Amino acid sequence: MALMNRQEYIESLRRLDIKVYMFGELVENPVDHPIIRPSINSVAMTYELAHDPLYEDLMTATSNLTGEKVNRFCHIHQSTEDLIKKVKMQRLLGQKTAACFQRCVGMDAFNSVYSTTYDIDKEHGTHYHDNFLEYMKLVQENDWTVDGAMTDPKGDRSLSPSQQDDPDLYVRVVERREDGIVVRGAKAHQTGSINSHEHLIMPTIAMGPEDRDYAVSFAVPTGSKGIYMIYGRQSCDTRKLEGGTIDVGNSEFGGQEALVVFDDVFVPNNRIFLNGETEYAGVLVERFAGYHRQSYGGCKVGVGDVLIGAAALASEYNGVPKVAHIKDKLIEMMHLNETLYCCGIACSAEGYPTEAGNYQIDLLLANVCKQNVTRYPYEITRLAEDIAGGLMVTMPSEKDFMHPELGPVCEKFFKGNANVPTIDRAKILRLIENLTLGTAAVGYRTESMHGAGSPQAQRIMIWRQGNLEHKKELAKNIAKIGK
């Protein structure tokens, strides 16, 4: 089963023995829960489009491990063309779902662990790379969705993992056995964790020798004994329990995050990819961060396309599509969105082969890409809200619009363009609300700030990668200093 389809993916989730809590209660049926199901639909789109001949070139690739056709989300990048297609694929899926489709972190983890395990084995004579190659063959053969899990709760940010008062605030090895390891801790903000077949765990920061037990990377099935999740709630999430569609804004698709707890989980030796080699924890983090910051030049741009389209429709439905300042705001939104896309494509086109054989993006440009993502979606959001108007956040509920007595009143007083049904105006305003303030804000606005590292993390990398000494030498040469 190299390529699952949409329905096969959904049915595969039903077979997972996972433990999920929401609002203090155990969720009996996560797949059909009205709050969770939209996020599953978003992941399902990655499977659906892989079978569409129109998108096959973007959505699939030929595995370097087996020679078989695989979903691009399970692929190890083999060229700059692969890196570029990745960004284009992410923009496409953002356009199709207007939400987070949740497989990007796993894909970025695959490529980071692939090259890092190769380097560790070369230095230490370990067998992590062999372990990972066999694991990747399973991922590709089964077309698994894998949650790449990097972010730890962290506790006191001024202290290293081993210095924390509570030793479990970073995932750690609590027991090393002949046949494997036992791990404890948690990963926070885990995108798509409930909708994933597997979890691929990575360290979250660079570490010193004293943090040996925390320098660990491994893969486990989502339903492993000792793993449970606490669902992260989002603004307006309970609207999905009301049974309507208009007030939700994006009724079919969504994203999800959770706290994933590891309560003494056993990991066999063949699924361990890092175990105490602290000098490679930072290497793995840096490589993953680069790939994931590249990703934001695709997915956020696709969602931005939908938001720009919604804002343009709102201007039409409000009766002001030809007003000069409205057009200028839409132009600015498009300019900012395409600038983000340019960065995603640029860091991909400037990629290069690693010693392991896969392709790494240009780290400087990837960090510039994500630095822009921490800013531009906020401005795009502001302009969309400006164009939409205050009714976006003061409009009566769907039930009022459908009420036999109140409905005609809402229809009368919330009419905009005479040629547009009032209910259509309500739908587009709710979509803008969803993308900028509601559940999708996690996958667009707020995640643009904190996903793949907050702004300062990129600024640190830009300082490291910016080659300032070279730039100073250029200036000296032009100014004839020292000559």
Q: What is the mean pLDDT of residues 39-59?
A: 98
- Considering the candidates 48, 257, 398, 433, report the single residue annotated as catalytic: 257
First to last CA, the chain: 67
Q: What rounded mean pLDDT belongs to the chain?
A: 97
Question: Is 51 a residue of the active site?
Answer: no
- Among 104, 236, 347, 410, the one annotated catalytic: 104
Which pLDDT belongs to residue 1? 61
Catalytic residue of the set 385, 398, 433, 447: 447
d(CA 436, CA 146): 28
Which pTM does this prediction carry?
Answer: 0.97
Q: Alpha helix (H) ranges present in 98-144?
A: 104-124, 128-142
Annotated catalytic residue, options 74, 299, 347, 369: 299
Query: Is residue 289 within 8 Å of residue 452, measured between CB atoms?
Result: yes
Q: What b-and-e string marks burial along 171-198, b requiring 16 or more CB atoms within 10 Å of the CB?
A: bbbeeeeeebbbbbbbbbbbbbbbbbbb
Catalytic position from the list 292, 376, 381, 436? 292
Q: Give the pLDDT confidence score for residue 438 in this predicted structure.
A: 83
Question: Catalytic one among 116, 117, 126, 191?
Answer: 191
Q: Write down all domains in the chain, each with its CATH number in brackets.
A: 6-278 (2.40.110.10), 283-473 (1.20.140.10)
Element (H, E) at 411: helix 406-413
CA distance 122 to 187: 29
Catalytic, 394? Answer: no
Percentage of residues of the chain with pLDDT beyond 70: 100
Which stretches does DSSP call E strand in 195-256?
Answer: 198-201, 216-221, 227-231
Residue-level pLDDT at 483: 80
Dihedral Cα 120, 122, 124, 125, nearest 10 deg: 120
The answer to whether 292 is a known catalytic residue is yes
**How far is it, in rounded angstroms, from Cα 248 to Cα 250?**
6
Kindly report which listed range (379-383, 385-389, 453-457) carries the lowest average pLDDT score: 453-457
Structure confidence at residue 384 as a pLDDT band (50, 70, 90): very high
Q: What's the token pair of residue 472?
A: 């100073």
Question: What's the pLDDT tens digit per position in 194-219?
Answer: 999 999 999 999 999 999 999 999 99
Using one digit for the tens of pLDDT, what is the confidence trace for 313-363?
Answer: 999 999 999 999 999 999 999 999 999 999 999 999 999 999 999 999 999
Contact 115, 322 (CB under 8 A): no
pLDDT-based confidence at 441, cuts 50/70/90? confident
pLDDT at 439 over 90: no
Q: Which of 9, 48, 100, 369 is catalytic?
A: 100
pLDDT at residue 247 tops 70: yes
Backbone dihedral angles phi then psi of residue 206, each to the nearest 5 degrees: -65, 150
Quote the tokens at residue 91: 């923009």
pLDDT mean over 7-26: 97
Listing DSSP states for 161-183 in one string gives: GGGSSSGGGS-EEEEEETTEEEE
Give residue 142's pLDDT band: very low, low, confident or very high (50, 70, 90).
Answer: very high
Mutual angle of helices 376-388 and 324-349, in 10-degree steps: 160
The 10s digit of each residue's pLDDT in 229-241 is: 999 999 999 999 9
Q: Is 252 a catalytic residue?
A: no
Query: What SS3 class is residue 86?
Result: helix
Task: Determine the Cα–Cα distance for residues 350 and 39; give it in Å rounded to an integer.
Answer: 33
Residue 74 annotated to the active site: no
Catalytic residue, candidates 291, 296, 317, 359: 296
pLDDT at 440 over 80: no
pLDDT tens digits, residue range 67-107?
A: 999 999 999 999 999 999 999 999 999 999 999 999 999 99
Q: Is 100 a catalytic residue?
A: yes
CA separation for the pair 102, 136 (Å, rounded): 18
